[in-house]
Each structure stands twice: as C-alpha cells, then as structure tokens.
Structure 1
Amino acid sequence: MLPRASTRDLLRALPALTGNLPEVDPYALPADPVEAFEVWFAAAVDAGVPEPHAMTLATVGPDGAPSARVVLLADLVDGAWVFATDARTVKARQLAGNPRASLSFYWQPLGRQVRVVGTAHALDDATCAADFLRRSPSSRAAALASRPGEVLHSIEEMTGAVVAARSRVDREPRLVVPTWQLWAVDPDEVELWQGDSDRAHLRVQYERADGRWARHLGWP
C-alpha cells in the first residue's frame, strides 16, 4: 500500500487560477461600484459560472469573534446587496447587535472576486413577506419547519417537521413565517479583483466618503 500523500503535498499539487481569465481595463469599469458589480455579475452568468449568486457573509459576534457562511444574493436594491434569513439565526442575531458586515463572491472560472464591506439593516415587514411568498412551496416549508438555534435530535425529526410544514403551506398558501427577514448591506468599500496566472492580480478598489465614491488601484 502506497503511503498517503500529506495535505501539504496535495495542496502543492493543486493548480490555481486555471479558469478563462479575461483581461480587464480598470478605467473602463463604471465609476459606481454597484454598476461595476452588475457588469461582472452578468458576465459570470453569461460564462456559466455555477451559482454566481452565492456569497460568503461575514459577521461579528458580541465577543468580537468573526463568523462566516455562504448565503445567496436575493436582490440588489438602491445600491445595497440583499439576502434572506430567519431572525433566529446566528447571523441575524449578530447583525442586530453589530450591523457591520462583509460579503465576498468568488467566480472561479473567470478568476474573479468581489468583496463588499458595509453596514447591514433589516428591511420592512411587507418587503420581507413579499419575498417569502415568492419562494417555492418547498423553500417556504423548509423555513416554516426550521428552528434555528435549537438542537436537532434526529434526521427523522427534521423530516417529519418538513412534511408537516409542507402540508400546512399547501393548505395556507399565503402563510408567512413571522421571523423571515431580508437584510441589506449598504457598502462603504467595494473591491473587484481579477486574478492573473502570472500573479499580477488586478485590484480595483472603491471607497465611499461624504456620499461619493472614489476609485483607485491597489497592489496585489
């Protein structure tokens, strides 16, 4: 039996920045970073990037410890990145205590990242309810059955809860989970990062001050 390669050996053998890396003229990008993001997001969709709306959301707990997870971009409204969650989740509770947040997208086939830093706020109840009702019955049933923060004692317990919730959703199609929330992250900083196979990565950085955006390039 051959010895198993170490994690270090496996990591060293992996290629990086192997996608179809486009060239970017940073001065051709829109002066507004939200518009620049929309251009890059459309390019990711056109390129067939899997789940291009997946983004890492980082929040901070009351002890100062960071916490990160992957969520889906639900909308881009009034210059803010919007995602959905339940008020009982860790991320919602952390944002209620400290609204500072960071988002990051990674579109590997294009070698592109987008990073957003800003302040989050919860949207109004009517907007949250409308978002919930636009979701599929299966998605609404899963949200109804979920009990964030509680211990799950068995898979069967969860399966039974989802089945019961789906039955209720079918009976009450206008039912809205009262803890359903949309959060919007208003950006203070946005960075568009284009990878380069020679490691001469391009960083286009936007910073907002006094309500206006300034743009500059950053060293890799």
Structure 2
Amino acid sequence: MNDVDAENQLRDTLRAIPVLTGVSPEFDHTDVPDDPHVLFSEWLLAATRSGVAEPHAMTLSTVSADGRPSARVLILKDVDKDGWHFAVNSVSRKGRELSENPVAALTFHWREQVRQVRVSGPVVADPPDLAAADFRARPVGSRLLALTRRQSDRLSGDAELDEALARAARELAADPDVVPDEWTSYAVRADEVEFWQGHPERRHIRVRYTLDDGTWSRAVLWP
C-alpha cells in the first residue's frame, strides 16, 4: 500500500466510525441552577451513578508565556466555591506554564452520555495544607514518582528511572509524611463554564455561564 492509499484508508476509516452513540439523560436547559458549580456537580454525580468510566478525568489546557498551548489528561480532585481543584508538580511543564501564565481550561467528556463541560478562568494555588493532604492520599507509586522531582525532564533510560525511584522509596520510608515542596494544589476560578449535550441530528444543547462582577449570567448558544 502506498502513502496515498494509506491516507485514503485512514480518512475513510475515520469517517465510518459512529459518533454521538451514547444515551443522553433528560436535560431541560430552561430550568438550570443559577450557579454553574451546582449544575456541574449534578452532571458529575449523574455520570458517576450511570457508570461512566472515570468521570473525573479532564483535559487540562495551559498556555506558555510565548502563547504555545499544551494539554494533558488529569483527575479532578474537588469542586467547591473556590473552584475546580487539581494537583501537580510545579516544576513540570504544566506547573511552569501555570506560573508563567496563570489561566487554564478544563474539558470533561462523558461519551456515554454525549456530554461535555468546558471550564476556563484564572488559576490560583490552594493553601499548602490542601496540597499536602492531596499528596499523602495518593497511591505509593504516584508519590514515589513525584519524589523524584524530575517530571518532564529528559530521561536517558530505564536505569536512570529505576535509580531515582529507589532513592524516592528510601526517602518515603524514612518519612512517610514527606511532601515535596514542588507539589501544588491549584484551583481554576472559573469565569466561563459551558455545558454541552449532544444530539444525533446535531441539535446540540449548549448552556454557557459567564461571570461578571461576581454575578453569574447564562445564555443558550446555537449548536
């Protein structure tokens, strides 16, 4: 198969894959809470109860100081009046970008329910005690990797990784409550949140909340 045939086969394969195959819950967009935090919690709990896989997984999008975007999937840790919370190593690429340009976007996709939620706004660091509590609640493997303090650095090979993890294991064994200084919990203090529910005929429902002078307003958008 030549390159042109391979490209045609890939394009045809992609177009043949079914989309919007989930089953959407009932959603009356004319009767929604005044606060997007409330609606988000309702949607997240509904996704959890219905068996959506990893409903707390989200794409975190950040932007460097020179305007270059990057994205990766993380786990949401909490949602409250202070924002959408997640924790990362501040010396990782995402941590550096949040330091350089403290704004972010979160995207949740619940394929089984044909739903998405988009959250964006400024990012602030949570109090250190929240970061420490998050770190200590993490699985051992996650803590060991963070204790290497090398995330996003160039890796020369498995031997280098094994050695760093062994050092981290000794550090954790000596002090089970250790928390690296670089571990940071962040909150996205949203000023825009959009709820999207798909429709097989593309009559998607979109409700966007925007924050202005401390007050939320909302609008229904064209699909």
**Shorter chain as normaliser: what TM range?**
over 0.9
* Paired residue secondary structure (1:6): helix
Structure 1, 101-110 or 73-82: larger mean CA deviation: 73-82
Partner secondary structure for residue 189 of structure 2:
strand
**What is the deviation of 1:146?**
4.1
**C-alpha offsets along residues 165-213 of structure 1, whole Å, 9 cap, x if unaligned?**
2233123111111110011000100000000111100001101111011
Query: Residue 220 of structure 2 aligns to a residue in which SS?
Result: strand
Residue of structure 1 aligned with 2:81, choices 78, 82, 89: 78
* Contact kept? 2:37, 2:80, Cα under 8 Å: no
Identity of aligned residues (%): 44
SS of corresponding position for 1:23: coil
Q: Describe how 1:169-184 pairs up with structure 2 within 5 A.
A: 169-184=172-187
State the match for 1:158 in structure 2: 161
Q: Which residue of 2 aligns with 1:25?
A: 28
Shift in Å at residue 22 of structure 1? 2.2
CA distance in 1, matches of 2:169, 2:200: 48
5 Å matches for 1:120-139? Answer: 120-139=123-142
| Contact 2:22/2:111 (8 A) holds in 1 | yes
Question: What is the one-letter code of the residue matched to 2:24?
Answer: L
Q: TM-score, normalised by structure 1?
A: 0.94
Aligned counterpart, 1:94: 97
Give, in whole Å, the separation in 2 of the partners of 1:42 and 1:77.
Answer: 14
CA RMSD of aligned residues (A): 1.6
| Aligned-pair CA distance for 1:58 | 1.0
| CA contact 1:56–1:105 (8 Å) conserved in 2 | yes
Q: 1:103·1:116 contact (CA, 8 Å) conserved in 2? A: yes
Q: 1:216 and 2:205 equivalent?
A: no
2:205 equivalent to 1:202: yes
After TM superposition, the score normalised by the length of structure 2 is 0.92
User: 1:6-85 maps to which residues of 2 (within 5 A)?
Assistant: 6-85=9-88
Q: Which residue of 1 aligns with 2:146?
A: 143
Q: Counterpart of 1:151 in structure 2: which amino acid?
A: R
Unaligned runs of 5+ in 2: none
Deviates more, 1:160-169 or 1:16-25: 160-169
Residue 116 of structure 2 is matched in structure 1 by 113
Shift of 1:65: 1.4
- The one-letter code sitting in structure 2 at the alignment partner of 1:32 is D
Q: d(CA) in 1 for partners of 2:53 and 2:162?
A: 28
Gaps of at least 5 residues in structure 1 are: none
Structure 1 counterpart SS, 2:33: coil
Q: Deviations over 1:28-75 (max 9, x none)?
A: 321110000000000111111111111111111111111111111111
How many Å separate the matches in 1 of 2:216 and 2:75? 26
Give the total of aligned pairs: 219
Report the Cα distance in structure 2 between the residues aligned to 1:8 and 1:149, rounded to whole angstroms: 33
Moved more, 189-198 or 70-79: 70-79
